[in-house]
Amino acid sequence: MARRRLPRHDRAGDLMRRALDYGRAPPPAAPLAYLLTAPWFGVAAGLVAAWQGAAVFASRWNPATLAVVHLVTLGFLTMAMTGSLLQMVPAVTGLPPRGTRRAAAWSCPLLGAGGALLAAAFLSGRPRLFALAAALLACAFVPVLAWLLPTLWQRGARAAAGAADIAGGMRGACAALAACVAAGLALAGWLAGGLAVPVVPLVDVHAALGLAGWVTALVLAVSFQVIPMFQATDPFPAAVARGAVPVLLLALAGWLAGRWLDAGWRQLPALAGALVVTAYAGAAAVLLLRRARTRGAAGTDYWLLSLASLTGAAWLFAWPGAAPDVRPVLAGVCFLAGFAMSAVNGMLYRIVPFILWYHLRRHARAGDPVPKIADIVEPWRMRAQCRWHAAAVAAALGACAVAPLAPAAGVLLAAASLRLGLDLAAPVLRHRHALGLFCKAACPVRRG
């Protein structure tokens, strides 16, 4: 009998499902250390914004603004994204790990301490704090990159079927992270009293590498897996999955060259990047809104807020003409709070319960009940936190024009992040004995 040929979208979905290799998943303590720490930096960023008030939303160059930005980018986003990569790189791409994952896991406290000290350095202006923060952050990123880069670029190994585009996006994002870290360490060294650097162009390059190269490229690449997996949508169109991240990174490279040369044509790659993310956001929104089931699913609201904010941030940045002082701040709020934090919040509510469910199921004895993923963190908690976070985003955007809204925006952001942290920590504490977490005898968790 002739074998029935699957429709194109079914074949793509089959490839997406076969790309997951759960046998390569790390012990749960490794990614959870990062994922459970991240929300508390959101709390810290909100409290600093409430304390400093209107100064945070007045200019991108204010020390208070830089403190809040780095609490979000280093403490919240990079912490969550690193933990997600520890879980997803081997499981999704199917690439065998290279280097020592344990060293990468140990970088979590160094990253947290370095991010906190860097924020304190911006608020106080003390050169010694910049020097100490730079040393801690260098020690944090070296083992992470020493695990990620050899794993993603190893010779003689290919990504699993259906995961090549995701692996390619991860490679580009991690390369951008390495360059962003190098630029950031050079700037921190200058602030600590070290060698002089071209500050203004290097700051712009550092920000572009971190925001467009690291955060945006990685969120796009991961979304090709997590949106169909967790939101039960159809797979992304092949053209979007294959082309969005490479074209975005190409536009970023053009903009970086133009910025370093101070060339007026750098506006062209900025416009190209805005078109790319707009096309991606449109394709993702169509998938999320196509069916009533996905429209009403917990997590869809996070993605819709994130997609709208990413599009707004891209066009605020790329729109030609002289920009008033408020436009870069609006773009930053749209990007960090509206796009990046919204997407990461939604993924944390999915990834943490999935890690717990998988390891509970894997190590359960015969007859032991294993909770469903939806019972580990109930969907209503996710929806409630999304409303708090959306209110924080709206208040922060308003604070760019109406200064008295700034403390309220900070309080709302802190409250939303607090709720996220408690929602994620509760099931981990509830199941810690079954998982062997925080117990010497069970780290790493025994393999079945």
277 in any annotated domain: yes
Q: What pLDDT is recorded for position 440?
A: 43
2 in any annotated domain: no
27 in any annotated domain: yes
Q: Which residues contact 295 (CB under 8 A, 6 or more apart)?
A: 288, 289
In terms of phi and psi (left: phi > 0; alpha: psi -120 to 50; beta: otherwise), the region of 125 is: left
Distance CA 179, CA 74 (A): 15
User: Who wins on pLDDT, 4 or 354?
Assistant: 354
- Residue 364 structure tokens: 């359960």
Residue 10 has pLDDT above 50, yes or no: no
- Residue 268 structure tokens: 């062209």
The 10s digit of each residue's pLDDT in 207-248 is 999 999 999 999 999 999 999 988 989 999 999 999 999 999
A 10 A CB-CB count for 390 gives: 18
How many helices (H) does the chain have, and how many strands (E)?
19, 0
Residue 198 DSSP code: -
Q: What pLDDT is recorded for position 320?
A: 80
Q: Are 389 and 339 in contact (CB under 8 A)?
A: no
Residue 2 has pLDDT above 60, yes or no: no
Q: Which residues contact 198 (CB under 8 A, 6 or more apart)?
A: none
Distance CA 245, CA 154 (A): 20
- 184-193, 194-203, 270-279, 321-330 — which is least confidently predicted? 321-330
A 10 A CB-CB count for 41 gives: 27
Residue 285 has pLDDT above 70, yes or no: yes
Helix H or strand E encompassing 393: helix 379-399
Q: In whole numbers, what is the pLDDT of the chain averaged over residues?
A: 87
Q: What pLDDT is recorded for position 34?
A: 94
The pLDDT of 50-71, averaged and rounded, is 95
Distance CA 90, CA 348 (A): 18
The backbone torsions φ and ψ at residue 3, rounded to the nearest 5 degrees and listed phi first, read -75, 130
Distance CA 69, CA 215 (A): 13
The 10s digit of each residue's pLDDT in 153-171 is 887 667 666 778 888 999 9
Nearest to residue 214, comparing CAs of 205, 201, 202? 205
Distance CA 130, CA 146 (A): 24
- 142-146, 320-324, 349-353, 413-417 — which is least confidently predicted? 320-324
User: With bands split at pLDDT 50, 70 and 90, how would you rate the model's confidence at 14?
Assistant: very low
446 in any annotated domain: no
> What percentage of the chain has pLDDT greater than the value 70?
86
Distance CA 47, CA 77 (A): 17
The backbone torsions φ and ψ at residue 98, rounded to the nearest 5 degrees and listed phi first, read -120, 145
9 in any annotated domain: no
Distance CA 241, CA 277 (A): 12
Task: Output the domain CATH number for residue 238.
Answer: 1.20.210.10
Distance CA 44, CA 120 (A): 11
Residue 402 has pLDDT above 80, yes or no: yes
Q: Are 306 and 321 in contact (CB under 8 A)?
A: no
Q: For residue 366, with 0-12 CB atoms within 10 Å meaning exposed, 13-18 middle and 19 or more buried, which class applies?
A: exposed
252 in any annotated domain: yes
Nearest to residue 364, comparing CAs of 432, 430, 448, 439? 448
295 in any annotated domain: yes
Distance CA 215, CA 440 (A): 34
Number of independent structural domains in the chain: 1
Residue 438 has pLDDT above 60, yes or no: no
Nearest to residue 50, comparing CAs of 379, 415, 340? 415
Distance CA 199, CA 196 (A): 8
Nearest to residue 348, comparing CAs of 264, 253, 424, 441? 424
- Residue 311 structure tokens: 């599009």
Residue 322: helix, strand or coil by DSSP? coil
The backbone torsions φ and ψ at residue 120, rounded to the nearest 5 degrees and listed phi first, read -65, -35
Q: What pLDDT is recorded for position 5?
A: 42
What residues make up the domain containing 237? 23-438
1 in any annotated domain: no
